[in-house]
Amino acid sequence: MPRRIVIHAGFHKTGTSSVQQTLRAARGTLKPALALRLKGQMTELMQATRGYSTYLTEDALDKVSRRFDAMLDGLPGMPRRTLLISAEELSGHLPGRGLLATYSAAPVLMYLYWQRIRARFTETPVHFCFTTRDPDTWHRSAWAEHVTSSSLTLSFEEFCASYPDAPDLRGIVSQVTARVPAPVHAIALEDCADRRLGPADAVLDLCDIPDDLRAAIPAQPPQNRRADDATLAALLAANRTHEDPDTRRAAKRAILAAAEGPTA
């Protein structure tokens, strides 16, 4: 039984990729004190959470419950270790996909996780944490992610007008806090700029890691950074020009490769 469980459940575009890369790089160092489950180890669960955020049906929620239980079933023995589960998709899809306008699924999903954990680990303390970001900066970063990874054809201004409530991450955290009978922590990305491990330091603050292990964690460069404006304009033009998915993907791969420059 873990001594503590920490669920870092989002949000997208708030440093989550950087947190997970730091944890991945430090997995061996942290193993005596921390058991990890990152999104690459929970692909079926992530499919279910994205499905629930899209359809919001009881059947979809039941699938999340079953797959979360299966993830718990696969955990190793963890006496005296903290279990940290980190994946932005634990809160569902990134808003801005069709009718998906906010993280409204997150409070329901967090309560479900709390229920399933409490049914299994009746005495283990559970903490939820969310990294957040300035709303205007988050809006632009979310738009850029959709332009890069989907077929979005909206301009930034059109995206903001279509999804005006999407950046209210603090509001979603407040809803989770009201619904889940466990501590809920909000970590502003802007407050982590001067910390050695960035937002990963703030997440690890909740995990009760010994100082010597913490000091041995190697710092990682920021991950999944937004493309520059010229590249985003070219990607948006490709989304608007190419109806065939394969042609569009090939054009965008070429744009991104050109933006990265020649390799040595």
Pair 255, 198 in one domain:
no
Pair 151, 249 in one domain:
no
Beta bridge partners of 131: 187
pLDDT digits (tens), the chain, 264 positions:
899 999 999 999 999 999 999 999 999 999 999 999 999 999 999 999 999 999 999 999 999 999 999 999 999 888 889 999 999 999 999 999 889 999 999 999 999 999 999 999 999 999 999 999 999 999 999 999 999 999 999 999 999 999 999 999 999 999 999 999 999 999 999 999 999 999 999 999 999 899 999 999 999 988 878 899 999 999 999 999 999 999 999 999 999 999 986 533
Kindly tell me the sign of the dihedral angle through the C-alpha atoms of 37, 173, 11, 116.
Answer: positive
Distance CA 159, CA 80 (A): 47
Pair 45, 117 in one domain:
yes
Kindly tell me the sign of the dihedral angle through the C-alpha atoms of 88, 91, 92, 98.
Answer: negative
Containing structural domain, residue 256: 227-264
Pair 18, 102 in one domain:
yes
Pair 185, 239 in one domain:
no
Pair 136, 84 in one domain:
yes
With 0-12 CB in 10 A as exposed, 13-18 as middle and 19+ as buried, what is 228? Answer: exposed
Pair 163, 258 in one domain:
no
Domains in the chain, number: 2
Backbone angles phi, psi at 144, to 5 degrees: -60, -40
Type of residue numbered 206: L
| Per-residue CA distances from 166 to 19, 99, 136, 211 (Å) | 22, 11, 10, 37
Give the contacts of 57 (CB within 8 A, at least 6 positions apart).
none
- What is the Cα Rg of the chain in Å? 19
pLDDT at 264: 36
Pair 161, 237 in one domain:
no
Pair 81, 98 in one domain:
yes
pLDDT at 261: 64
Pair 35, 70 in one domain:
yes
On whether the CB atoms of residues 5 and 36 are closer than 8 A, the answer is no
221, 236, 256 — which closes off a domain?
221
Sheet holding 4-8, edge to edge: 34-38, 82-86, 4-8, 126-132, 184-188
Q: How wide is the angle at C-alpha 230 spanned by C-alphas 150 and 138, nearest 5°?
A: 55
Pair 148, 234 in one domain:
no
Q: What CATH number corresponds to the domain at position 102?
A: 3.40.50.300
Pair 68, 144 in one domain:
yes
What separation, in Å, do the N-terminal and C-terminal C-alpha atoms of the chain show? 49
